[in-house]
Amino acid sequence: MEKMTGSEILMKSLVEEGVTTIFGHPGGAILHAYDVLIDYPIKHVLCRHEQVATHAAEGYYKTTGKPGTVMVTSGPGATNCVTAITDALMDSMAIVVLTGQVPTAVMGCDAFQEADVVGTTRACTKHNFLAQRAEDIPRIIKEAYYIARSGRPGPVLVDLPKDALMGHGTFQGYPKDVSIRGYNPQLYGHPSQIKKAVELIAQAKRPVIYGGGGIIHSDASEELHEMIDITQIPTTLTLMGLGALPTNHPLWLGMLGMHGTYWANMCMVHCDLMIAIGSRFDDRITGKVSEFGKQCKIIHVDIDPTSIRKNVNVDVPVVGDVKCVLRELNKKLRNVRRNWAKDFEEWYAEIEACKIQHPLRYEQREGVIKPQYAIDMILRLTEEYDPIVSTGVGQHQMWAAQVYRGRMPRRWLTSGGLGTMGYGFPAALGAQAAFPDSLVVNIDGDGSFQMTMQDLCTLLEYELPVKTFIINNKYLGMVRQWQQLFYGQRYSQVNIDHQPDFVKLAEAFGITGIRIERPEEVKAGIEKAISTPGPVVVDVVVDREENCFPMIPAGAAIKDIIDVGEPIPDKLFQGWR
């Protein structure tokens, strides 16, 4: 058996685990691990802020399906990750965060750059470990990655004291198997529950499928597609589920929720059966919970038993991996003798009428760029490249979600549960590191981008050609919209008119900057950004006070959704239907 330092054991374990890329930032307590890292075949992306490194790991996971890895130092290095770790927990992102820690002898003594990271992150990780001995590291790393990616995916943190990294231990090989007492994610749904679900689906007259991010995490898009092909049930997806079904599918209803399509939300109000798959009944979906789903039966498929009946009572819960459950459901649904499409003709007609009466729309006049127009054009002009699209958080995020033209899963990156401003740019960085030859588009807000923009230099250093489009209204736009609609137009601390010149900023980092200020410049500016080699920042100056509709006011029932204001004359209509 071989004697090695804890750092060598750590790196050897990571290689055995299949880790090829780490996002991170070094510091004193993790210094020895960084010294050893040089000798191992692992690419390290030096981010300028630990939050960026952690969001980048989220982007890496979402696009590859493999856990993202982060390595940072103790104290502030570790605490800077906390926002992104929480984001990963809310959105079920499998990442493993390796944090340095002060030597065990001085832990609890307020040592320099000491923070109780295990205690701090206990509530925002799926699990965390303190590795006190070099010999423990292989088992802990094996368990950390297993926990991160299995069951409902999530963030796992491994705290590594300096003496455990520098001390020597016997490396007895990397474990091949994992056995964790009390942790056995249930993959297969109970047969009797699946039978009940099939019976409900077979009897439904106005059903709707409501899919969430669990479909993406489970790689179950094919099974979802098959279920829709068999049953011909109209399908809507959550913000996190976008991409699970091609947006050109005839039964695709668009996104539902607070800023989802009017007709998708009305389907939730008027259906007689709701089939929730890999979704968690977030309050942005349900609106007023006491009014949600009162008129229908509900089937809920989810691998996380704690999500079942957490927010909404359901009639048939099916605990299991979405892919496994859908395969079983599809087997049985194929045996149901029914003319599905004919039986749903009346239901289809109602939905179609609602689409015509309440389309997504905007009015693009001369002079000022409407943000919807800019985002629509970005997605139209990049569609042929099958881009990976990330967003920040705010109005631009919701507009991008409404008009998203995804055809494949794992192409859409956004922060849903925590709603983390500053997410889009680092997530795009992580995705581009995973797929250096793909087109990665970051649609950001001026407020959101300013939270993590310091890592523009990371793009340049690692030749990551991310195209960032800043939808710049010089406001914290979504907050301003709420203040306008619900606080009597009293705008408080939302004006960010004083901001950097984003073109000069990009150029200061050695990156191409482009500004688009007029509607007639939009198409050419986007095409120039796409064709320019390397990373590009595009400052798109848009209408300052445009609002994002439809909108379900916070705490209101879905039926109280606010549609766009006055009807737009047909001759001015330039939106999408």
41 vs 11: CA distance, rounded Å: 9
- Of the candidates 62, 162, 323, 370, the residue annotated as catalytic is 162
DSSP for 522-549 reads HHHHHHHHHHSSS-EEEEEEB-TT----
* Torsion (CA) 92, 82, 239, 386 in degrees, nearest 10: -90
Q: What is the DSSP letter of 246?
A: -
Instruction: Give the 3-state DSSP-derived string for 114-131, with helices as H, strands as E and coil as C.
Output: CCCHHHHHCCCCCEEEEC
Q: Tokens standing for 232?
A: 């011909």
546 a catalytic residue: no
Residue 564: the pLDDT is 72
Pairing verdict, β 168-171 and 2-5: antiparallel
Pairing verdict, β 252-255 and 273-277: unpaired
Pairing verdict, β 316-319 and 412-413: unpaired
Q: Which residues, in sequence order, are bridge partners of residue 208? A: 274
- Nearest 5 degrees, angle CA 262-CA 89-CA 186? 90
> pLDDT tens across 259-294, in order?
999 999 999 999 999 999 999 999 999 999 999 999
Give the global pTM.
Answer: 0.96
- Within a 10 A sphere around the Cβ of 190, how many other Cβ atoms? 14
- Of the candidates 113, 484, 499, 574, the residue annotated as catalytic is 113
> pLDDT tens across 472-528, in order?
999 999 999 999 999 999 999 999 999 999 999 999 999 999 999 999 999 999 999
Q: Tokens standing for 97?
A: 């965060």
Closest CA to 561 of 207, 210, 295, 256: 256
Q: Tokens standing for 350?
A: 């109602």
474 a catalytic residue: no
Residue 571: the pLDDT is 43
Strand blocks (E) in 131-251: 155-161, 168-171, 207-211, 235-237
Helix then strand then coil, in percent of the chain rounded to 5, is 40, 20, 40
Q: Which residue has the tokens 């990009």?
A: 506
- Of the candidates 266, 377, 421, 478, the residue annotated as catalytic is 478
- Of the candidates 8, 17, 50, 114, the residue annotated as catalytic is 50
Say if residues 135 and 169 touch (Cβ distance below 8 Å): yes
Closest CA to 43 of 14, 84, 10, 63: 14
CA-CA-CA-CA torsion sign (34, 37, 38, 42): negative
Residue 565: the pLDDT is 54
Listed in sequence order, the DSSP H helices in 383-520 are 395-403, 424-434, 446-449, 456-461, 477-486, 502-508
510 vs 460: CA distance, rounded Å: 7
112 a catalytic residue: yes
Q: Which pLDDT tens digits describe the chain residue by residue (577 residues)?
A: 778 999 999 999 999 999 999 999 999 999 999 999 999 999 999 999 999 999 999 999 999 999 999 999 999 999 999 999 999 999 999 999 999 999 999 999 999 999 999 999 999 999 999 999 999 999 999 999 999 999 999 999 999 999 999 999 999 999 999 999 999 999 999 999 999 999 999 999 999 999 999 999 999 999 999 999 999 999 999 999 999 999 999 999 999 999 999 999 999 999 999 999 999 999 999 999 999 999 999 999 999 999 999 999 999 999 999 999 999 999 999 999 999 999 999 999 999 999 999 999 888 988 999 999 999 999 999 999 999 999 999 999 999 999 999 999 999 999 999 999 999 999 999 999 999 999 999 999 999 999 999 999 999 999 999 999 999 999 999 999 999 999 999 999 999 999 999 999 999 999 999 999 999 999 999 999 999 999 999 999 999 999 999 999 988 999 999 987 544 444 444 444 3
- Nearest 5 degrees, angle CA 225-CA 228-CA 233? 150
